[in-house]
């Protein structure tokens, strides 16, 4: 499969540009797609094309735009299995998870198709007679959307669908290693009847994207940046947007805590820790980082967790497995670095570490030429350890203990991330105290740190983001701006705060 950028409805290929091979991480000899990468000038040009198209798109009545979103959902639904198989082949996500990811696009479209009839403003009473006040939601303009590849189709839909619904145009830069999945989603969305230039897809590496985005911001052809990726890159994008007085939508990394109280259902907690710690090989922004377990429950929890991890199947993502390979060679190499953070006071309670090979197998599975890694549970992590403080994007989970709930909350907040969190308890008081004290944007009670629904706000604080939210009605504030209008039909100039009628009370009155 050969893939190039699409700008204004036409292929945008520079034959002199660099190429990238998107490989199947479960069988690295298999090339899924050959991707022709664009340069920064192409990205900036795409933004100017989108800017011109947006001026016509915003004139389309919002309910009609909603019908286009409905068509997107139906097209994805009709192609769900093929799209999910492509995701599995390209990034190694187990097929059941990939199919769930595709379903999330459909849910997102189903939610937002109705918002075309609910982009409500308000009529506000004026303090003066013969005068009316109104508010309107208006599109921001062009949204530059830059996404990671661990959720190559669902997360982009969180940006693209509401952005288009609100009357914006989009330039989308997906991850190179998930280019085939992204291109397939683009084709499905374009088939819904979008005018040329309203949705554009540009394949580029990081430096070219940065150069192109900076140029587009300078030219005034981008009014909103949406970014999902690492905290380090998010800081750079935030600084760049700040120089242009823009507030980006940043969804960044996480070091997501799970607190296990002494009254917790340990089997349920272990099930949640297994899924959130090792689903997608721990390569989610909401993956479990550290289990913070009460000292009285520590031994029992760890014993159950080790047993569950040992029984979990790792392997071919087309089969029934807990997780498959790392997403790409770059993530496998980075995971090797995380394993170097192990310290003498740590105890790896799950056995083997590193890449699964014939010399380092997992049972009878030898890795079969893919980027497969052993699941790792590290007991005895301490506040201040790199394994405790920093995101570890891969199949590794730390375990530490606490004595009281206040200590658990402090430990949960200490790394400075604030995306997702979880507490297992049967005590409502403890659940609500945890919710009030934790700095995460999302809190689960007796559920894992991973999981999102299309109508609930998704996003984090601190090192996990700038407080912006995706999904549900809350994301509309990212892709619209409020416009206020006053209409004075009194026939004379009425000055606010000055020509206001006053009714004088008798404040000295007493019974």
- Catalytic sites, residue numbers: 251
Phi, then psi, of 431 in degrees rounded to 5: -60, -45
What is the number of other CB atoms lying within 10 angstroms of the CB of residue 374?
A: 21
Cβ atoms of residues 142 and 171 within 8 Å: yes
Closest CA to 397 of 495, 268, 281: 281
Count of residues making up the chain: 511
- Rounded Cα distance between 80 and 94, Å, is 14
Closest CA to 285 of 231, 323, 330, 332: 231
3-state SS track over 23-91: EECCEEEEEEEEEECCCHHHHHHHHHHHHHHHHHHCCCCHHHHHHHHHHHHHHHHHCHHHHHHHHHHHH
- Rounded Cα distance between 415 and 255, Å, is 7
Element (H, E) at 291: strand 288-294
115 contacts: CB under 8 Å, gap ≥ 6: 66, 162, 165, 473, 476
CA within 13 Å, CB half, 96: 8
Q: b/e string for 437-470 if b means 16 or more Cβ within 10 A?
A: ebbbbbbbbebbbbbbebeeebbbbbbbbbebbb
Strand 5-7 to 10-12 pairing: antiparallel
- Rounded Cα distance between 259 and 403, Å, is 11
Maximal C-alpha separation, the chain: 94
492 burial (CB, 10 Å; 0-12 / 13-18 / 19+) is exposed
Phi, then psi, of 378 in degrees rounded to 5: -110, 115
């Amino acid at each position: 499969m050969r893939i190039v950028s699409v700008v204004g409805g036409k292929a945008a290929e520079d034959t002199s540009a660099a190429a990238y091979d998107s490989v199947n991480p479960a069988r690295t000899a298999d090339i899924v797609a050959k991707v022709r990468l664009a340069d920064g000038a192409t990205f900036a040009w795409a933004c100017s094309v989108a800017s011109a198209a947006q001026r016509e798109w915003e004139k389309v009545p919002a309910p009609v735009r909603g019908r286009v979103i409905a068509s997107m959902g139906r097209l994805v639904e009709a192609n769900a299995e093929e799209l999910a198989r492509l995701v599995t082949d390209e990034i190694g996500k187990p097929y059941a998870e990939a199919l769930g990811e595709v379903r999330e696009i459909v849910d997102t479209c189903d939610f937002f198709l109705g918002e075309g009839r609910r982009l409500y403003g308000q009529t506000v009473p004026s303090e003066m007679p013969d005068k009316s006040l109104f508010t309107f939601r208006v599109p921001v303009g062009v949204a530059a959307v830059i996404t990671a590849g661990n959720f190559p189709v669902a997360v982009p839909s969180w940006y693209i669908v509401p952005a288009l619904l609100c009357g914006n145009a989009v330039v989308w830069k997906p991850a190179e290693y998930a280019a085939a999945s992204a291109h397939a989603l683009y084709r499905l969305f374009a088939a819904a009847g979008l005018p040329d230039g309203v949705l554009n897809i540009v394949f580029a590496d990081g430096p070219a994207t940065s150069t192109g985005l900076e140029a587009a911001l300078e030219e005034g052809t981008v009014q909103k940046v949406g970014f999902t990726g690492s905290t380090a890159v998010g800081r750079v994008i935030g600084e760049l947007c700040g120089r242009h007085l823009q507030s980006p939508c940043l969804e960044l990394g996480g070091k997501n805590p799970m607190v296990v109280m002494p009254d917790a259902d340990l089997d349920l907690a272990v099930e949640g820790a297994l899924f959130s710690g090792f689903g997608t090989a721990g390569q989610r922004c909401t993956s479990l980082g550290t289990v913070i377990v009460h000292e009285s429950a520590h031994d029992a929890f760890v014993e159950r967790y080790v047993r569950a991890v040992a029984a979990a199947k790792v392997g071919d993502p087309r089969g029934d497995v807990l997780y498959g390979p790392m997403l790409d060679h770059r993530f496998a190499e980075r995971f090797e670095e995380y394993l170097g953070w192990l310290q003498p006071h740590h105890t790896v309670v799950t056995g083997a570490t590193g890449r699964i090979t014939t010399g380092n197998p997992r049972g009878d599975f030898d890795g079969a030429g893919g980027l497969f890694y052993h699941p790792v549970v590290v007991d005895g992590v301490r506040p201040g350890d790199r394994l405790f403080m920093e995101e570890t994007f891969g199949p590794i989970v730390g375990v530490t203990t606490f004595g009281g709930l206040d200590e658990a909350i402090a430990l949960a907040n200490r790394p400075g991330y604030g995306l997702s969190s979880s507490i297992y308890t049967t005590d409502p008081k403890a659940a609500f105290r945890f919710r009030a004290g934790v700095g995460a944007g999302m809190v689960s009670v007796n559920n894992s740190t991973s999981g999102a629904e299309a109508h609930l706000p998704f996003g984090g604080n601190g090192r996990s983001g700038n407080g912006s939210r995706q999904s549900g009605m809350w994301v509309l504030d990212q892709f619209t701006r409020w416009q206020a209008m006053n209409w004075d039909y009194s026939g004379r100039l009425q000055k606010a705060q000055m020509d206001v009628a006053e009714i004088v009370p008798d404040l000295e009155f007493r019974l």
